[in-house]
Chains A and B, each alone.
Chain A
Amino acid sequence: MTRSSFMTRKELIGFLILAAVIFLLLPAMLDSFRLNLFGKYLTYAFVAVGLALCWGAGGILSLGQGVFFGLGGYCMAMFLKLEASTPENTAIQSTPGIPDFMDWNQLTELPVWWQPFYSLPLALLAVLAVPVVFAFIIGFAMFTRRVGGVYFAIITQAFAAILTILIIGQQGYTGGVNGITDLRTLLGWDIRTDEAKTTLYFVNGVLLFAVLLIAQYVRKSKLGRLLIAMRDQEDRVRFSGYNVANFKIFIFCLGAAFAGIGGAMFTLQVGFMSPTLVGIVPSIEMVIFCAVGGRLSILGAVYGALLVNWAKTSFSEAFPELWLLGLGGLFIAVVMFFPNGLAGVWSEQIEPRLTKLSKRSDTATPKRAAERAPAE
């Protein structure tokens, strides 16, 4: 009955392999342009890890993760935009010193709620706090009234639609459909150069591992087991003396926080934030990252985010019309044939064969074999 409470040996190997892929393999294989792309994919992985907890473990499917990704991203973008909009840079505007899109929309001063974003600490706080507070409000309203399942999915999707319409409609305050663009420096450090983007890739990797370790801790705590219990027998958990709503709110907020971090890193890595990352379509695509990786596996979620996005980029370059067919097929295939995603294929198909193989000849190192796995 005794076992390592935080990480089994197998899980540790999984973490190390992922670290090797992110910190050694990809940087060694890719040029700086491609590495920057993978940096972008990594920011989606934050969302996917949060979904693995909410949806995979807790059974709460949110179709509105783009909202939290966007809120985090916009908080970061607002700070960067203010830094870029110095009176010198914006001297040609009729009101110098405010973001260009405000000037185009005849605003003559900075709105009050933009003011805090002059400060980096406040902006960073907002990156976490705004998504979490928003998730708390939604979660509190819905979970204490026992709304779950498809209703919750639809309502979160409605929020994704609402926020998109709001951002596009209020272009004087938000930059509208173009989003917040032309971001330049972070405390004077130019984020547009190749070196900066490579650095940001590694920052992304480190932050992602921090998030993964938090997720691993939660999964392995009693709270993690409670989530699974709630997914299967919500009533029994309630009648074991737990306030089920609180646990759901917590995990939903945690997922929102992860998504917020991802969004902020997206803004830094890619250099803009726009409503196209907030709406219904990106939100549901984030779910497929998680589903492809294996909804129960936090490491799988990372591979899922990387693979699906890599496929998306490659396909849309080569055969743009095929990509939607492929993505649609992926949704159906994952649900119908691989409900546990790559992680499931790995643990049900590949791993047993490997064990058989390694029993026959001990030469096959688990590491090389495992690296192959996610690509299958």
Chain B
Amino acid sequence: MFADYSWPELGAIFAMQGFAGLILFSVFVLMALGLAIIFGQMGVINMAHGEFMILGAYVTYLLSNLFADYVPALFSMYFFVAMFLAFIASGALGLFVEWALIRHLYKRPLDTLLATWGLSLILQQVYRSVFGAREVGVSIPDWMMGSLPLTDLIEIPINGIFVMVLAVSISLGVYIMMFRSNWGKQVRAINQNRVMAGAVGINTEWTDRLTFGIGCGVAGVAGSAFTMIGSTGPTAGQLYIVDTFLVVVFGGAASLLGTIASAFSISQAQSIMEFFLSGSMAKVLTLLVVVGILMIRPQGLFAMKLRK
């Protein structure tokens, strides 16, 4: 299949597909981070994760309309406000859901999975009732439009670069929170020994709630970033949930670095294959390879060996 292309063309294809892969990678990282925090640290499967993202996307959509109508002068900056509010909205909903639902089910992970699936159906319907079934798009500020020509064969869209920058900074933020903040220390302590953490005075209940809230908040930011490269519909979240879970599991559930590495390999594989095969076959092959590797190495790419 390579024979039809000349060398410079092939190089350009790999560069462009590689870049498309980088955008996909950013998307995966943004989605998977929140999930990795919740699943890795708490062992909770949140099937409604996609809907928390979509909430962030809708918040961004609302804000873009508000700014356009009332403060058009500041429109170019609305996105940063939107991102912050998306974090607050999804995070607050996350805190509520933890309190109302998740905390009753910590000992029953499979049931959590079913309950959060129910939650995702409810949220989808709520979105549909409030925002309509049609997909909505936000107006992108001027400075994010267009693309940078690198060579005459390779062009790079600016909004793609922006999403990548976001992904990197949010990952850094989460990393710092996890390993430098007091909350991060408490979360890791609880993850290693819940009873002992409680015994030394960590409020495990509140830390759990906060963890869930922060994971959902990060999902909201991801959704917000999403609006820069695609439109939003009530069921958009569901499309990505399987990929996101595979990214997290493939990376080794307990490792943030693993999540990022696996997001990178999965997205690159998929986007490079996409050029040579049809989109659906590329996806099928990628998923099959990931699932196949998980069958051979169920603990994922990065996992600690522990004394039982």
A147 CB within 8 Å of chain B: yes
A339 CB within 8 Å of chain B: yes
Check A146 against B298 for contact (C-beta < 8 Å).
yes
Check B114 against A154 for contact (C-beta < 8 Å).
no
Check B129 against A321 for contact (C-beta < 8 Å).
yes
Check B124 against A331 for contact (C-beta < 8 Å).
no
Range, interface on chain B: 35 or more
A16 CB within 8 Å of chain B: no
Stretch among A1-9, A17-25, A163-171, A197-205 lining the B interface? A163-171
Check B104 against A336 for contact (C-beta < 8 Å).
yes
A321 to B124, CA, bound (A): 10
Range, interface on chain A: 35 or more
Check A150 against B280 for contact (C-beta < 8 Å).
no
Which chain B residues border A335 with CB–CB below 8 Å? 105, 108, 111-112, 114-115, 118
Which chain A residues border B124 with CB–CB below 8 Å? 324
Check B291 against A159 for contact (C-beta < 8 Å).
yes
Interface string of A138-166 (1 = CB under 8 A from B): 00011001110111011101110110011
A36 to B238, CA, bound (A): 31
Given known pairs A158-B242, A161-B287, A324-B124, the reply for A336 and B298 (CB within 8 Å) is no
Cβ-neighbour of A155 out of B120, B279, B294 (below 8 A): B294
Check A149 against B298 for contact (C-beta < 8 Å).
no
Interface string of B47-83 (1 = CB under 8 A from A): 0000000000000000000000000000000000000
A77 CB within 8 Å of chain B: no
Which partner residue on chain A sits nearest B291 by CB separation? A158
Given known pairs A325-B125, A332-B118, the reply for A150 and B113 (CB within 8 Å) is yes
Which chain B residues border A150 with CB–CB below 8 Å? 43, 45, 109-110, 113
Given known pairs A332-B115, A336-B104, the reply for A155 and B283 (CB within 8 Å) is no
A284 to B241, CA, bound (A): 14
Check B118 against A327 for contact (C-beta < 8 Å).
yes
B295 CB within 8 Å of chain A: yes
Cβ-neighbour of B295 out of A145, A288, A328 (below 8 A): A145
Nearest Cβ in chain A — how far from B221, in angstroms?
24
B117 CB within 8 Å of chain A: yes
Which chain A residues border B287 with CB–CB below 8 Å? 158, 161-162, 165
Which chain A residues border B145 with CB–CB below 8 Å? none
Which chain A residues border B117 with CB–CB below 8 Å? 284, 328, 331
Which chain B residues border A168 with CB–CB below 8 Å? 280
Which chain A residues border B281 with CB–CB below 8 Å? 169
Check B122 against A328 for contact (C-beta < 8 Å).
yes
**A residues with CB within 8 A of B:** 55, 59, 61, 63, 141-142, 145-147, 149-151, 153-155, 157-159, 161-162, 165-166, 168-169, 280-281, 284, 287-288, 291, 321, 324-325, 327-332, 334-336, 339
- 30 contacts across the A-B interface (CB closer than 8 A): A59-B110, A142-B298, A145-B298, A146-B298, A147-B298, A149-B109, A149-B110, A153-B45, A154-B245, A158-B290, A158-B291, A161-B287, A162-B284, A165-B283, A166-B280, A166-B284, A169-B281, A281-B238, A321-B125, A321-B128, A324-B122, A325-B122, A328-B119, A328-B122, A328-B123, A331-B115, A331-B117, A335-B111, A335-B118, A336-B101
